[in-house]
Structure 1
Amino acid sequence: MINHEELINNINDSCKYLFTSQIFKLEENVLSNSAKTYRIQGNSKALNRKKNDIFEVSVLNWFEDFYLYVEVKFVSNHTFISLSVFKGADNQLNKHQLFRAEWDDYDRDDEIHAQPHWHITTDVAISDNFNNFLGEKEQVTFDVFELSKAEVFDIKNFHFAMLGNWQQDETHIHKISEPAKVSKWLLGVLKHIRVELDV
């Protein structure tokens, strides 16, 4: 089992340098006796979509109009890490959730989903914008263009592998075992996301 305090301290120490105008810090958030949860303490709010749930979270302004949410949860001997990137105005609760990176360690070798992995969530933003556009019109007809859920592949439940080691004939599962490796992974993911969003 990974040392919880060491992992949180490593993440806080390594990631704080990516934020010049804000303070990156995971702080304990008591939700239940069975789980220990640490969340980023941000300066704005957003709606985090995870599985079939939507819940309000505190997000940290990262740069420009991009916001970050990070959560680390310890349940029994399992560790769950989730980060989401949002785009929107500071006072906008319904910021667009662009994507989510997760690393869920169930401590099983037969896990079906790659660990860690990406979830792409921009399809929700596209759908919301389309519905808002339709809502603004009194009479809208689309003879050529019809959008229905049956015609669009829903990718938000797809787990895109992030760290598969197939080239070494190894599995798509990486267990969370060493705090230093996990904090380096998170730091690398954030650095890479920043480069891609800056393009």
Structure 2
Amino acid sequence: MNAKVQIQFPEQSIPLYRTPQMVDAYSLAFSTNTQIQVLISCISKETVRIKDLERKNCPVPHSFTVLESLISIAEDLATNYCNTFDVEHEKYKNGLNSSDNQYDAGDLLEPYGLAYEVSTWLSTLIYQMKDELITVKKSSTTLCDAVFAGLENLINIADYLSDSHRNTFKIEFEKYEAEWEATKNA
């Protein structure tokens, strides 16, 4: 009598991730935030250049206070979160050789959720910079629009990239959020 015994192992219902996925999440957040940080620094330098040019050509120069304040807030925010993402990236990267670390979708929600939130804030600030630049250009009686072209281009690039990064993080966040909700309900 030959009886076949089939042993079935229960399928794992909760997908688990390893350290490389956490490293990748924080690496992506760090690198995209760094890109925006560099652009904001360039925007700041170009704003100072234009402000100085207007001061030389106008007895009563236009106030750049609001634009400079927005830039300062964006610089501080980008720097702060670059540091946060870098610390977390290094923490997980240093644990890369530990093969027993397992993470679930809930763990990946944190870096992608934070990156999505930060990129949304930066996107909003950059959009406000764009609006303020329009006000500055309209108020300037001594400088032609061509003087503002470089600054305008930098802000447009930062706006595009921040929106693109925000959309990327939103997709990743929603993916892991759905997976996390599914595992909680299983």
- If the length of structure 2 is used for normalisation, what is the TM-score? 0.23
More relative contact order in 1 or in 2 (CA 8 Å, sep 6+)? Answer: 2
- If the length of structure 1 is used for normalisation, what is the TM-score? 0.22
Q: Which has the higher strand share?
A: 1
Q: Which has the higher helix share?
A: 2
